[in-house]
Amino acid sequence: MQISTKGGDEPQWRSDGAELFYLALDGRLMATPIKPAADHQSIDVGQPVPLFGAQVGMVVRPILAGSYVASTDGQRFLVNRLLRDTGGTPLRVVLNWSAGQ
Task: Kindly report the three-state secondary structure assignment for every residue of the chain.
Answer: CCCCCCCEEEEEECCCCCEEEEEECCCEEEEEEEEECCCCCCEEECCCEEEEECCCCCCCCCCCCCCEEECCCCCCEEECCCCCCCCCCCCCCCCCHHHHC
CB atoms within 10 A of CB 74: 17
pLDDT digit string, tens, across residues 74-93 = 899 988 876 676 677 788 88
pLDDT over 70 percentage in the chain: 84
Instruction: Considering only residues 9 and 50, tell me which one the structure prediction assigns the higher pLDDT.
Output: 50
Instruction: Considering only residues 91 and 21, tell me which one the structure prediction assigns the higher pLDDT.
Output: 21
What does pTM read for this prediction? 0.70
pLDDT digit string, tens, across residues 25-59 = 888 899 999 998 888 888 889 999 999 988 775 54
Instruction: Considering only residues 71 and 55, tell me which one the structure prediction assigns the higher pLDDT.
Output: 71
What pLDDT does residue 60 have? 46
